[in-house]
């Protein structure tokens, strides 16, 4: 019962956040880049962290945050990660690191996960990012650009992302 209440609260929260979104800075150039990753689908986070060279940015300008359905039993030193338990049944994110990541005004934030993922969709809609990019099968209302490439095709995805950033005058 609580799972269905939580799911409905998350959907309501996502919808409300999308209605309030400010798109006035959507055309700003790419100076900061963020990746919101579903760690169950893609766990090579270092590859994304090192993409700063590919986009001709500084290492400090690229941030990666991951979501994991259920926390692993082994201890993790990773502070840039959250799980289902970090979202209340009312749809409020309680993870301090997640809130800090989402409050950063990234010029581009990439939702690096396929399909509709309610928790990640909530995080993407909660983000203060100026331009949001999603992967194949993503929820259309959340993103400004959807690339028809699966997250598993990392090199191809980054190449296409860079191509679109050039076409959109962000690079």
Q: Taking CA 62 as the corner, what is the angle to CA 124 and CA 130, rounded to the nearest 5 degrees?
A: 40
* CATH number of the domain enclosing 115: 3.40.50
Average pLDDT of span 128-152: 89
3 state DSSP class of 110: strand
Question: CA 15, CA 18: separation in Å to the nearest integer?
Answer: 5
Q: Is the pLDDT of residue 146 over 70?
A: yes
- Provide the pLDDT for residue 1: 57
Q: What are the pLDDT digits (tens) for 59-116? A: 999 999 999 887 665 445 567 888 888 888 888 889 899 999 999 999 999 999 988 8
Does 12 or 70 have the greater pLDDT score? 12
Q: What is the pTM of this model?
A: 0.88
Q: Cα(117)–Cα(84) distance, rounded to whole angstroms?
A: 11
Residue 87's DSSP bridge partners are: 93
pLDDT for 116-133, tens place per residue? 888 999 999 999 999 999
Q: DSSP assignment, residue 56?
A: T
pLDDT tens-digit map of 28-47? 899 999 999 988 888 778 88
Mean pLDDT of 136-160: 88
Nearest residue to 32 (alpha-carbon basis) of 10, 6, 5, 59: 59
pLDDT of residue 78: 62
Residue 105's domain comprises 2-167
Handedness of CA 18, 141, 41, 26 (dihedral sign): negative
**Domains contained in the chain, number:** 1
- Within 99-166, strands assigned E span 108-112, 131-134, 145-146
């Amino acid at each position: 019962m609580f799972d269905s209440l939580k799911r409905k609260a998350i959907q309501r929260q996502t919808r409300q956040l999308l209605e309030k979104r400010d798109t006035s800075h959507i055309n700003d150039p790419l100076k900061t880049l963020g990746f919101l990753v579903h760690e169950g689908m893609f766990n090579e986070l270092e590859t994304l962290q090192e993409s700063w060279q590919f986009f001709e940015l500084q290492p400090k300008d690229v941030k990666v945050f991951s979501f994991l359905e259920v926390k692993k039993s082994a201890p993790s030193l990773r502070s840039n990660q959250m799980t289902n338990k970090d979202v209340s049944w009312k749809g409020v994110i309680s993870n301090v690191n997640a809130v800090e990541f989402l409050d950063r005004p990234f010029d581009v934030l990439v939702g690096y996960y396929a399909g509709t993922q309610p928790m990640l969709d909530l995080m993407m809609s909660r983000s203060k990012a100026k331009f949001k990019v999603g992967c194949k099968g993503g929820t259309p209302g959340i993103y400004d650009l959807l690339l028809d490439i699966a997250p598993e095709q990392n090199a191809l995805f980054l190449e296409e992302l860079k191509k679109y950033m050039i076409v959109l005058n962000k690079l």
